[in-house]
Chains A and B, each alone.
Chain A
Amino acid sequence: MGLFNRKPKETVTITYISHGGARVEAAVPVDTSVMEGGVSNSVDGIVAECGGACLCATCHVYVDEAFLGLLDPIAADEEVMLGNTFCPRKPNSRLSCQIHVTKALDGLVVRTPEAQH
């Protein structure tokens, strides 16, 4: 059967840069989210109050432009919540809970805004 047996996952390296300039380089498993990688590495600036349900907009990040084209497109619910971020939305704004980590994202760089609420 094995409904829930999960193999150890490959990881990719994601760099989180906080507003104050602190850098966290994290090994994040594929098939998780950039938000989960941030939270599990105590990244300052990724709050994620709703835990990834796309309902709170407290995991807002600015994505390094070089990677924008590699991300899944913005879905309707993310689009709505991006209109409700505490710091201004920019063309490279995403909610990190909606960025699905794939092998192609190895080396991804995201910056967190000054505040999330």
Chain B
Amino acid sequence: MGAGVVIAGAGQAGFQCAFSLRTEGYDGPITLIGEEDWLPYQRPPLSKGCLSGKTDLDAIALRPAAYFQANRIALRMGRRVESINRLGLRVILDDGGEVGYEYLVLATGCRNRVLAGMEGVSYLRTREEAAALMDRLETAETVTVIGGGFIGLEVAAAAAGHGRRVTVVEPQARLMQRAVGPIISEYFRAMHARHGVRILLGTTAAGLEGDMVVAGIGVTPRTELAEAAGLAVGNGIVVNAQLRTEDERIFAIGDCAAFPSRFARGMARLESVQNAVDQGRCVAAAICGRGADYAAVPWFWTDQFEAKLQMTGLSNGFDEQVVRGDLESGKFSVCYFREGRLIAMDSLNRPGDHLAGRKLLAGSGAVTPEQAADLSFDLR
């Protein structure tokens, strides 16, 4: 049976890998090591449902303790892997303990970028940070959000929804620049403005005003464990198409992994539930002897005010875009093409388009811009 699988990191990816190992029939020992004290939990609600008040912080665990016991998944919570002994096939924990492995899965995730030299700024990545942010939001009248990405805008929408006066400061020229096209950026700018959120683009000034300051300025992958073990790292822990590092017994998955992607036309590192789940499942299958190249279509979502934005594919580098539907109606999709081929779609309140887009991207993307713009054309 061997020493089993050790998973370093108990976020969405690490949890999914353990879960899928059991559903794939893996019978050996599984150890899931996470540095937070909580049972593995979902992060999306921290900036969405929990902050808007719809979801209880106590209701975000991925599974209850009884699940891990019943499935013989040994949880080592509140612990961190300090180093990897690759020759000895062991990890060394921060309490000095050691765990042997047959396969090691690195699911170490990311850490927040922080504003150097600024005290008293709230961040949002962990459950503790969410709880602290919610406490401060109770009494703050004015909120300054630094960073107009998903996290910053979700915080802004929730705070405005609670009646707070909110300013978002974004150094780039448009919102969510890394993830969506300019039409979507402008739609969201106008929507936030309509809800009373002040959006300052192309500036880093006015950073410290407000009863509370929240920064959502991106993350960096946690690669130091892999690097210290002599594994290749770049923008993430470098893995091959099967998500293996250069050490055939060590995989990397989720936010920390840099992997070859046809959607990125090169190496990609994606921060999303979809990527964490699909990579966790892919590696579980590989460990069970059913390895395959990771080829899942990327998708993402964000909820802000009444808008539910669903994105699929990677739109960076598009050379043509068409709008499907009517911007005024708040129900439309932007379809992105490169060299005549569909590469991504951002759908606002058009879930049918989103799902059709995922299926098109999983195949050949054989739809023309003219067809995509024609509402009478069935994308399915």
Contact = CB atoms under 8 A, between A and B. Distances in A.
B62 interface: yes
Interface in B57-82: 57, 59, 61-64, 66-67, 70
B351 A1 contact: no
B21 to A, nearest CB: 14
Interface residues of A, number: 23
B355 A40 contact: no
Q: Which of B61, B137, B162, B351 has the most CB of A within 10 A?
A: B351
Q: Would you call the interface of chain A mostly helix, strand, loop, or mixed?
A: loop
A32 B194 CA distance: 30
B277 A49 contact: yes
A92 interface: no
Given A3-B134, A6-B56, A77-B308, A51 B352 contact: no
A42 B69 CA distance: 11
Given A53-B44, A53-B301, A32 B138 contact: no
B70 A55 contact: no
Given A3-B137, A3-B162, A80-B355, A42 B67 contact: yes
B277 to A, nearest CB: 5
Given A39-B62, A54-B351, 19 more contacts: A1-B138, A4-B138, A6-B56, A32-B59, A39-B63, A40-B64, A41-B64, A42-B64, A50-B273, A50-B277, A51-B42, A51-B44, A51-B45, A53-B301, A76-B352, A77-B351, A80-B352, A81-B355, A84-B355
Interface of A: 1-4, 6, 32, 36, 39-42, 49-51, 53-55, 76-77, 80-81, 83-84
